[in-house]
A = this chain, B = another copy of it.
Amino acid sequence: MAELPFDVTDARLAAAAWSRIAEPGDTDAGALLAHLGPVEALGWLVHAAAGSGQAAVGGGRAGRPGVERAVGRWAPRLEGLDIRRELDRLAALGGRLVVRGDEEWPGGLDDLGHRAPVALWVRGAASLGLLARAVALVGARASTSYGEHVAVQAAMGLGERGVSVVSGGAYGIDAAAHRGALAVEAPTVAILAGGVDRLYPTGNTALLEQVLASGAVVAEVPPGSVPMRSRFLERNRLIAAGSRACVVVEAAWRSGALSTAAHAAALLRPVGAVPGPVTSMASAGCHRLLRETDAVCVTDAAEILELVGPIGAALAPEPEVARGLLDGLDPVCARVLDALPARGAAPAPNVVRASGLSPGEVRSALGRLELAGRVERNGGAWRRSRPAPRHPTLS
């Protein structure tokens, strides 16, 4: 094994190299990096791969038996490795590498422990600092127009309240979530499974270019990396860890979005699920979350915010509803008013019998109802007042 052609004592280069050497979510790499840091871990790997270094340099210090076995996975990728190429490619695209310790490193990712990424490859105008106030909106690629509508509305509502939307840049719900945020000029973050040089899927290239114009496009694998299935599944843990809560808008009974929700739950992030018609297979996964997990039913941006807000600080408002005949009345008055005929008038003794209340209670209630303008006296008989026209409120 020859020496690597770049400066392996540069911590940023070493971290970038590790993001190329180890697959996302490789806990052996995570453990090794946590013990040695990227520079020393890389030096150890180079020696270990050469077959000479295990005992001499770090075999004992690596500390996990799995790490030794992992050398078999990592060593083939040292061949021809020159991470400066990928960094040049990123720089040519106007991007930047973000590593732990950088100001914009998303602290939430550290909750992943040994599954945390070693580096992020980032393109876009926004600092990843906005992830501190972000919610993940995810869902099926095979979405319905209902689900897309709800995703757009939710993302718009979150954006208007200064909350960023994180998603995966995929077709369907992901795209709708990004579009909703962009519609209210709120920065949004797409976390991709492949390299950020390739705005995948191709049909979303224009959308992802809009995303990076005001927000960010992020990957933990270097430019040139292919979005393999396993990388999609591991990418989902970044979406979950990189946001404050995870909301599934639409998902089939089995859907990658459910894995994102499971990651979020495992990280103790609140999970929301948007219900839909039970006749729609595209909502079956959301209903499954509601039935089988602690996921909360959410129907709009205000309810999504309740997931993350301090308790009681931002309660979703009750929807306005028309005032009913008996609203705001104590039970006795309500029963008396209810016992009056819908049309016409009735003498008090009739009201007593119809209501099942005592004459005294009826007299008292009729008096209070009259003061409140809810009933009118007409000689010896009583009738309901016509409802006053409702004025538009001024406030």
User: A residues bordering B, Cβ < 8 Å?
Assistant: 22-23, 26, 69-77, 79, 146, 149-150, 226, 228-230, 252-254, 274-279, 281, 283-284, 286-287, 290-291, 296-300, 303, 318-319, 321, 324-326, 334-335, 338-339, 349, 352-361
Q: Report B-chain residues with C-beta under 8 Å of the C-beta of A76.
A: 349, 352-353, 358-359
Distance between A23 CB and nearest chain B CB, rounded to angstroms:
4
Give 10 nearest A-B pairs by CB, closest first. Answer: A72-B358, A275-B275, A290-B297, A23-B356, A278-B299, A229-B338, A73-B358, A291-B297, A230-B335, A76-B352
Known A-B contacts A284-B319, A357-B73; A228 and B338 likewise in contact (beta carbons under 8 Å): yes
Give A94 to B181 CA distance when docked, in angstroms. 65
**Contact A73-B356, Cβ < 8 Å, known A146-B279, A278-B150, A290-B290:** yes
This chain: copies in complex:
2
A291 lies within 8 A of B296 (CB): yes
Q: Which residue of B lies closest to A306 (CB)?
A: B291
Choice from B286, B303, B361 contacting A291 with Cβ under 8 Å: B303
Name the one of B297, B334, B354, B361 contacting A275, with C-beta atoms under 8 angstroms: B297
> Would you mind naming 15 contact pairs between A and B with Cβ atoms under 8 Å apart?
A26-B356, A69-B358, A72-B358, A72-B361, A75-B358, A76-B349, A76-B353, A146-B277, A228-B354, A253-B321, A254-B321, A275-B277, A275-B290, A287-B297, A291-B298
Task: Give the distance in Å from the alpha carbon of A291 to the alpha carbon of B294 in the complex.
Answer: 11
Question: Is B300 in contact with A334, judged by CB distance below 8 angstroms?
Answer: no
A288 to B51 alpha-carbon distance, docked (Å): 63
- Asked if residues A278 and B276 are in contact (CB atoms below 8 Å), the reply is yes
| A281 CA / B278 CA spacing, docked (Å) | 16
Complex CA gap A69/B359 in Å reads 11
Chain B residues whose C-beta falls within 8 Å of the C-beta of A356 in the assembled complex: 22-23, 26, 73-74, 77
Contact check: which of B228, B279, B338 meets A150 at CB < 8 Å? B279
Closest partner residue, chain B, to A21 (CB atom): B356
| Additional 4 contacts, C-beta under 8 A, given A76-B358, A229-B325, A275-B278 | A73-B358, A230-B335, A253-B319, A275-B283
Q: In the complex, A299→B338 CA distance in Å?
A: 36
Point out the residues of chain B lying under 8 angstroms from A69, CB to CB: 358
**In the complex, what distance in Å separates the CA atom of A69 from the CA atom of B290?**
48
Q: Separation in Å of the A237 CB from the closest CB of chain B?
A: 14
From residue A242, how far is it (CB to closest CB) to chain B in Å?
22
- Asked if B253 and A318 make an inter-chain contact with CB atoms under 8 angstroms apart, the answer reads yes
The listed residue with most B CB atoms (<10 A of its CB), out of A150, A230, A296, A353, is A230
Bound-state CA distance A170–B135 (Å) is 42
Most chain B beta-carbon contacts within 10 A, residue among A26, A297, A357, A360? A297
Contact check, A353 vs B77: say whether CB atoms are below 8 A apart.
yes
Residues of B within 8 A of A253 (CB): 318-319, 321
The distance in angstroms between the C-alpha atoms of A53 and B321, with both chains bound, is 50
Q: In the assembly, what is the distance between CA of A356 and CA of B355, in Å? A: 79
Q: Which residue of B has the minimal Cβ distance to A352?
A: B76
